Chain A
Amino acid sequence: EVQLVQSGAEVKKPGESLKISCKGSGYSFTSYWIGWVRQMPGKGLEWMGIIYPGDSDTRYSPSFQGQVTISADKSISTAYLQWSSLKASDTAMYYCARQSSSWAPSDYWGQGTLVTVSS
């Protein structure tokens, strides 16, 4: 069974750093792309970027380039999304999702990680 299991909810202060994770199982982690999607409170879905764990090829949506860093550790089948300096506007639910290619629909999704940034 394909599963993407994300790390737990986080509460952070503005300016702090954060790294959240997404662990894949039930499939060949290095053969599929992992994408990250943001959903701000009460809002729609925004595609942030993707990574191919097989060779760490990473692509960012222009809206998120420079704002976050996407990485992966294929030895533990885990992808990451990180911030160096959080802002209140980063408060959102973040989902990871699997894709068969760089431009493809997302067929399996993680359960989401809620990030709350508040002073």
Chain B
Amino acid sequence: EIVMTQSPATLSVSPGERATLSCRASQSVSSNLAWYQQKPGQAPRLLIYGASTRATGIPARFSGSGSGTEFTLTISSLQSEDFAVYYCQQYNNWPTFGQGTKVEIK
């Protein structure tokens, strides 16, 4: 099983600031990496797939980068609706998720 490790566990950011979330895979997953956003009481929402492609309807302030074992999700200017938990997921083989990064208001 490929283990996905996200950091930090919690990120405190002020509205309008940039947020950078990291995700590391225990072995290469090529670009088969997705990012999801989950708000309390809601289902996850796909943000990024293929490591860097935004899903339909996702604002341009969300961007993804990386390949192999190191990946980054950047939110360029945090809006109030962006405070949530973010998960990375590899789907290179049996899909596995990271443990999540909570983005909270500073």
Contacts and interface: CB of A to CB of B under 8 A. Distances in A.
Interface residues of B, number: 24
B44 A95 contact: yes
A89 to B, nearest CB: 18
Contacts of A112: 43
A61 B100 contact: no
Interface string B5-33: 00000000000000000000000000010
Interface of A: 35, 37, 44-47, 61-63, 95, 97, 103-107, 109-112
24 contacts: A35-B95, A37-B44, A44-B87, A44-B97, A45-B36, A45-B87, A45-B89, A62-B1, A63-B1, A95-B44, A103-B32, A103-B93, A104-B49, A104-B91, A105-B55, A105-B91, A106-B36, A107-B46, A107-B49, A107-B56, A109-B43, A109-B45, A110-B43, A111-B43
